[in-house]
């Protein structure tokens, strides 16, 4: 007590970083903006509108659920906004609004809040929401094509067509079109350049480590190069199509559902890459990114247990010897 | 760290993780000033890791500076001496900053600072004499830990201990007293380094400093290059400025590449680490025989009117020291004994300075807010920051589940509570608290067995 005022007494350290969860989520939102702008240009205002509806729904469900569960309000940490954006990015822009709201409800209510809220979900809410929608609504795999008109806000009549992964050679967009996103697909996944710009921002801001995206995309490249018997064009199409880059940069790097240690991250990312390839090459589904990430999410606790680094000064051999004698 | 001068070592094995903390070495250019003799000192009998001392004086005794007032026959302890001359007015329990009680001797000063007549330079002819002299000096690690120095140095000659590391890293923000020691008392450091080396037969001496102290560096380099060092066995090591570079385990790793195993001491991997101020003190003690009765400390922080480096008798009241530094410039919201990363926050200023206190920091409201705690998002920043390769977020889970077997497996006991994890946590979790909780759970369980 000094001059009649109580002093703050707290445990060390008395200095703390200025980084907060909110700041991290804000960085992710900023990083998603280039892709959002690109999708609006490519698919029209409808894409933007769908994203906004999705964000609003996620925030609403988060707020309501915290109220019902009598927990503190967490919409301020902005994680629900990120989930809303990511789920919208994983949908064709032409789907009806009620559909994405259903997906948002599944993601936030079931996957996130029923398991304890931020940091407790065992799979990525946006991916789980997307898979829920894929399984429930056939319209989810009718990819909206670019050029439906910038002002065309009605979704259902929008042009749909096959994703490049399932298209025949003549229908394929050029590689340049693939890179800038002039192709059919989910609204946020097509413009690779915009996604990479966002990813770069996150790496520079030290929000994510480049390890998972690089290893994930790298392992897909290696497998596809082998599967395509050294055909670089084939491999390039494989890397640029589907939700691979979006998934690798924004979904596989989710803190809660990926391992903490470097070694764990590498194993996780290789696993994602291999399952993606397996589904694309041998499965009946055209796209495998969501499923591969959700499967590796489930493996994360196991990977983590196997890759926890040895505490400082613990000799490897001695520990083994001790275990054997015990 | 781009241009390391010739003959200067760099870390054999770099420290993992750690955090970049603003240095705030505001007092680096301020020479240590001696504070006026306080009217009263309160000298606690627990000022070191290990056993407390028992008072050997009683109320009414006249004592002089340097006179023994507390001692014990326990090995891991260091004797305590009167720090002012005057009359013992109380011998009893006081509350220490951490909340524990300790016996303490209160001396009313007569203002004369009369030296005790029994003070004479120790006669040191052998290793045993040397260790005995170190014990009699009352020296404990002045860097903050307070481990009795004679215990540290008392190793058998055949134990294979080859390296002495002199720690001048001072990686805690704000504190500059070790830096001042290098600048102001370089001769003491020089003579002590060679004395300890010869006395205890160290093959190598590594003087370690961070690269943000170029002035100290020049001086330490001269010490390492001294002509007495004919075989070039004393070397200077430059370390990247990052926290907790100066932690004992980190020092050993940087200097030798060796890792201290869990539950062991640096001596178990052939190293002894000594703080630069402790070393300099030993040199003065061997010359004069005056035991550890005063120390330098940094007084700084946004609420201190005139930040200073001051030399005060041990047992001086913290409030008086702050008054000496111009008092508070604005209302303090947090007062810390020690550095901001590992120091203890105080409930008030009515505590005495201990042997191992290297700083008093007082912060105004803006620098003392407690970060709001939110849910863990498993971002892994704590694990990335841990210099000891622990995964604090998972240890927190184990603590919440009271799962001691997982805590053990995760190596909780290795933790040195440096606070790098909690510093980096975006969710503002009190991770050091969880670590301490985990340790006490493990100790409790071990005690049951």
Each residue's pLDDT tens digit, A192-250: 999 999 999 999 999 999 999 999 999 999 999 999 898 999 999 999 988 999 999 99
Closest residue to A261, CB basis, from B21, B335, B383: B383
- Residue A1 in contact with partner chain B when CB distance is under 8 A: yes
- CB-CB under 8 Å, A9 with B346: yes
Closest residue to B432, CB basis, from A12, A20, A260: A12
**pLDDT of the residue at A157:** 45
Domain count along chain A: 1
Q: Is residue A98 part of a domain?
A: yes
Rounded to 10 degrees, the C-alpha dihedral A145/A151/A156/A159 comes to -20
- Residue B237 in contact with partner chain A when CB distance is under 8 A: no
Residue of A nearest to B374 (CA): A21
What's the average model confidence in pLDDT over B99-115?
92
- Ranking A314-318, B144-148, B154-158, B271-275 by mean pLDDT, the lowest is A314-318
Q: Is residue A5 part of a domain?
A: no
Across chain B, what does the average pLDDT equal? Answer: 92
Confidence at B230, pLDDT banded by 50, 70, 90 = confident
Q: Is residue A195 part of a domain?
A: yes
Confidence at B3, pLDDT banded by 50, 70, 90 = low
Chain B residues with CB-CB distance to A8 below 8 A: 333-334, 345, 368-370
pLDDT digits (tens, 9 = 90+) for A88-98: 999 998 899 99
**pLDDT of the residue at A255:** 95
- CB-CB under 8 Å, A314 with B411: yes
pLDDT digits (tens, 9 = 90+) for A99-124: 999 999 999 999 999 999 999 999 99
- Residue A74 in contact with partner chain B when CB distance is under 8 A: yes
**pLDDT of the residue at A164:** 55
Q: What is the CATH number of the domain that holds A126?
A: 1.10.3430
Chain B residues with CB-CB distance to A74 below 8 A: 374-375
Q: Do residues B416 and B247 lie in contact, with contact meaning Cβ atoms separated by under 8 Å?
A: yes
CA A195 to chain B, closest CA, distance in angstroms equals 21
- Residue A119 in contact with partner chain B when CB distance is under 8 A: yes
CA A263 to chain B, closest CA, distance in angstroms equals 12
CA A278 from chain centre, in angstroms, equals: 19
- CB-CB under 8 Å, A24 with B379: yes
Domains B8-28+121-288 and B33-110+291-367 share a fold: no
pLDDT digits (tens, 9 = 90+) for B346-365: 999 999 999 999 999 999 98
Domain that holds residue A44: 21-155+164-307
Q: Is residue A177 part of a domain?
A: yes
- CB-CB under 8 Å, B334 with A14: yes
Closest residue to A7, CB basis, from B347, B374, B378: B347
Q: Do residues B173 and B389 lie in contact, with contact meaning Cβ atoms separated by under 8 Å?
A: no
Strand B80-81: give its sheet, edge to edge: B54-55, B68-71, B80-81
Put simply, the chain A residues between 225 and 264 with a CB less than 8 A from any chain B CB are 255-256, 260-261
Residue of B nearest to A253 (CA): B379
In three-state form (DSSP H/G/I as H, E/B as E, the rest C), the secondary structure along chain B is CCCCCCCEEECCCCCCCCECCCCCCCCCCCCCEECCCCCEEEEECCCCCCCCCEECCCCCCEECECCEEEECCCCCCCCEECCCCEEEEEEEEEECCCCCEEEEEEEEECCCCCECCCCCCCCCCCHHHHHHHHHHCCCECCCCCCCEHHHHHCCCHHHCCCEEEEEECCCCCCCCHHHHHHHHCHHHHHHHHHHHHHHHCCCEEEEEEECCCHHHHHHHHHHHCCCCCCCCCEEEEEECCCECCCCHHHHHHHHHCCCCCCCCCHHHHCEEEEEHHHHHHHHHHHHHCCCCCEEEEEEECCCECCCEEEEEECCCEHHHHHHHCCCECCCEEEEEECCCCCCEECCCCCCECCCCCCEEEEEEHHHCCCCCCCCCCCCCHHHHHCCCCCCHHHHHHHHHCCCHHHHHHCCHHHCCCCCHHHHHCCCCCCHHHHHHHHHHHHHHHHHHC
CA B300 to chain A, closest CA, distance in angstroms equals 14
DSSP-H helix ranges across chain A: 21-43, 45-68, 79-89, 97-105, 125-136, 175-180, 192-204, 211-227, 232-240, 244-246, 262-282, 289-307, 316-325
What is the CATH architecture assignment of B33-110+291-367? Roll (3.10)
- Domain B8-28+121-288 is in which class? alpha beta
- Bridge-based pairing of strands A160-161 and A143-144 is antiparallel
- CB-CB under 8 Å, A2 with B331: yes
Closest residue to B331, CB basis, from A3, A311, A312: A3
Q: Is the peptide bond before B209 cis (omega within 30 degrees of 0)?
A: no
For residue B338 the two structure tokens come to 């020690």
Select the residue from B18, B377, B436 to test the A interface by mutation, using most A Cβ atoms within 10 A.
Answer: B377
What's the average model confidence in pLDDT over B133-138?
94
Q: Is residue A14 part of a domain?
A: no
- CB-CB under 8 Å, A23 with B345: no
**pLDDT of the residue at A156:** 45
Tell me the pTM.
0.90
Q: How far apart are CA A174 and CA B158, in angstroms?
A: 75
CA B133 to chain A, closest CA, distance in angstroms equals 33
- Residue A297: pLDDT over 90: yes
Confidence at A158, pLDDT banded by 50, 70, 90 = very low
Domain boundaries, chain B: 8-28+121-288, 33-110+291-367, 381-448
Q: How many residues does chain A have?
A: 326
- Residue A153: pLDDT over 70: no
Q: Is residue A318 part of a domain?
A: no
CA B282 to chain A, closest CA, distance in angstroms equals 31
Q: How far apart are CA B388 and CA A21, in angstroms?
A: 25
- Residue A3 in contact with partner chain B when CB distance is under 8 A: yes
**pLDDT of the residue at B99:** 84
Of the two residues B211 and A324, the one the predictor is more confident about is: B211
Confidence at B232, pLDDT banded by 50, 70, 90 = confident
Complex ipTM, two decimals?
A: 0.89
- Ranking B43-47, B59-63, B444-448 by mean pLDDT, the lowest is B444-448
Q: How far apart are CA A36 and CA A47, in angstroms?
A: 8
Confidence at A169, pLDDT banded by 50, 70, 90 = low
- CB-CB under 8 Å, B335 with A2: yes
Q: Is residue A233 part of a domain?
A: yes
What's the average model confidence in pLDDT over A49-78?
95
């Amino acid at each position: 007590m000094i001059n009649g005022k109580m002093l703050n007494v707290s445990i060390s350290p008395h200095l703390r970083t200025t980084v907060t969860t909110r700041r991290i989520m804000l960085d992710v939102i900023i990083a998603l903006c280039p892709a959002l702008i690109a999708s609006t240009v490519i698919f029209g205002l409808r894409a933007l509108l769908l994203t906004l509806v999705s964000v609003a729904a996620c925030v609403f469900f988060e707020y309501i659920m915290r109220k019902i569960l009598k927990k503190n309000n967490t919409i301020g940490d902005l994680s629900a906004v990120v989930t809303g954006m990511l789920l919208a990015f994983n949908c064709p822009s032409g789907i009806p609004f009620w559909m994405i709201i259903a997906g948002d409800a599944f993601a936030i209510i079931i996957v996130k809040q029923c398991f304890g809220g931020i940091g407790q979900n065992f799979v990525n809410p946006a991916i789980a929401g997307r898979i829920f929608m894929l399984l429930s609504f056939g319209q989810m795999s009718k990819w909206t094509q670019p050029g439906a008109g910038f002002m065309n806000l009605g979704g259902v009549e929008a042009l749909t067509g096959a994703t490049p992964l399932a298209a025949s050679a003549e229908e394929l967009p050029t590689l340049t079109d693939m890179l800038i996103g002039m192709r059919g697909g989910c609204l946020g996944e097509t413009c690779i350049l915009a996604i990479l710009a966002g990813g770069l921002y996150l790496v520079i801001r030290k929000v994510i480590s480049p390890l998972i995206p690089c290893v994930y995309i790298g392992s897909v490249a290696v497998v596809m190069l082998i599967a395509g018997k050294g055909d670089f064009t084939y491999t390039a199409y494989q890397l640029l199509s589907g939700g691979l880059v979006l998934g690798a940069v924004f979904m596989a790097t989710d803190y809660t559902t990926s391992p903490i240690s470097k070694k764990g991250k590498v194993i996780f990312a290789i696993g994602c890459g291999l399952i993606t390839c397996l589904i694309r090459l041998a499965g009946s589904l055209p796209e495998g990114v969501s499923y591969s990430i959700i499967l590796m999410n489930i493996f994360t606790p196991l990977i983590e247990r196997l890759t926890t680094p040895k505490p400082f000064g613990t000799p490897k051999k001695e520990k083994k010897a001790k275990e054997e004698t015990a | 760290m781009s241009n390391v001068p010739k003959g200067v070592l760099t870390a054999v094995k770099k420290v993992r993780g750690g955090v970049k903390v603003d240095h705030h070495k505001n007092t680096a250019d301020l020479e240590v000033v001696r504070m006026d003799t306080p009217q009263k000192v309160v000298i606690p009998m627990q000022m070191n890791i290990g056993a407390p001392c028992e008072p050997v004086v009683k109320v009414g005794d006249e004592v002089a500076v340097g006179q023994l007032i507390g001692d014990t026959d326990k090995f891991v302890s260091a004797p305590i001496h009167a720090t002012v001359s005057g009359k013992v007015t109380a011998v009893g329990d006081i509350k220490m900053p951490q909340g524990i009680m300790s016996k303490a001797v209160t001396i009313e000063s007569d203002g004369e600072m009369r030296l005790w007549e029994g003070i004479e330079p120790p006669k040191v002819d052998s290793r045993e004499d040397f260790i005995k002299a170190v014990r009699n000096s009352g020296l404990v690690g002045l860097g903050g830990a307070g481990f009795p120095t004679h215990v540290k140095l008392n190793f058998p000659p055949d134990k294979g201990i080859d390296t002495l590391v002199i720690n001048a890293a001072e990686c805690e923000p704000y504190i500059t007293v070790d830096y001042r020691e290098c600048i102001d008392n370089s001769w003491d450091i020089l003579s002590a380094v060679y004395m300890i080396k010869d006395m205890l037969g160290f093959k190598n001496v590594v003087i370690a400093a961070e690269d943000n102290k170029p002035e100290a560096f020049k001086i330490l380099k001269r010490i390492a290059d001294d002509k007495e060092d004919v075989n070039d066995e004393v070397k200077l090591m430059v370390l990247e400025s990052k926290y907790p570079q100066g932690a004992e385990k980190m020092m050993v790793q940087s200097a030798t590449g060796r890792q201290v195993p869990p539950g062991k001491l640096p001596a178990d991997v052939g190293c002894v680490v000594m703080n630069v101020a402790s070393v300099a003190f030993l040199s003065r003690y061997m010359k004069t025989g005056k035991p550890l009765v005063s120390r330098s400390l940094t007084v700084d922080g946004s609420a201190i009117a005139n930040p200073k480096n001051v030399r005060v008798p041990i047992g001086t009241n913290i409030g008086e020291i702050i008054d000496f530094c111009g008092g508070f410039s604005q209302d303090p919201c947090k007062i810390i004994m020690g550095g901001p990363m590992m120091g203890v926050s105080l409930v008030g200023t009515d505590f005495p300075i201990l042997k191992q206190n290297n700083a008093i920091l007082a912060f105004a409201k803006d620098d003392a807010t407690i970060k709001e705690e939110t849910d863990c998002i498993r971002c892994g920043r704590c694990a990335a920051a841990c210099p000891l390769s622990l995964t604090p977020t998972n240890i927190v889970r184990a603590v919440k589940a009271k799962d001691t077997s997982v805590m053990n497996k995760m190596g909780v006991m290795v933790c040195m509570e440096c606070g790098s994890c909690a510093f980096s946590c975006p969710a503002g979790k009190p991770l050091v608290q969880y670590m301490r909780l985990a340790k006490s759970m493990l100790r409790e369980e071990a005690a049951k067995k």
